[in-house]
Amino acid sequence: MAQDDVKSHLDKGLYGTPLVNPEEQHKYLGTFRERCYLSMTVAEMSDPKNKENFLKELNKHTDVSIRLNGALPLSIQNQYIQLATKNNVRFTVINDFVSAEPDSFGLLLTAKEAVNEPVIDVEKKYPEEEAKKDEEKPKKKSFWDRLF
């Protein structure tokens, strides 16, 4: 028994503490999916509408932190770092297991504990207003409706 404890202690020293669900933690910039309020991919971060939606979500929640992908271009990183400091929100730039591919996560708005948001993608959570405007347009009356 004592030998197993020594081996586990040495393994922790050599390789670090083992992660719970490491694939999920690598995908979500070192945290779990259940702790996320909002996510933005690298491609979505350059859209100004998504930045406004990010600010809306940031104002909804207190005691949140921002996780930024370290492989992002510095111009985009600096924009979101300035927003975080302006709103007094903690941020962390993650450099382990990240990539600058357009489909990988560029930003996550997270909590310390599980919040279980059903939708975290910024474009699904805040659909474009143009789609709403198209639905609100009145339909043209048909020929028969105008006659009667």
**Distance of alpha carbon 16 from alpha carbon 96, whole angstroms:** 14
Query: Does pLDDT of 35 surpass 90?
Result: yes
Residue-level pLDDT at 129: 61
pLDDT tens digit sequence for 37-80: 999 999 999 999 999 999 999 999 989 999 999 999 999 999 99
Q: Of the candidates 65, 25, 68, 42, which has an alpha carbon nearest to the alpha carbon of residue 122?
A: 42
Q: Of the candidates 47, 20, 44, 45, which has an alpha carbon nearest to the alpha carbon of residue 34?
A: 20
**Distance of alpha carbon 94 from alpha carbon 71, whole angstroms:** 8
Task: Please tell me whether the overall predicted TM-score, pTM, comes out greater than 0.95 for this model.
Answer: no
pLDDT tens digit sequence for 2-21: 777 888 888 888 887 777 88
Query: Does pLDDT of 111 surpass 90?
Result: yes
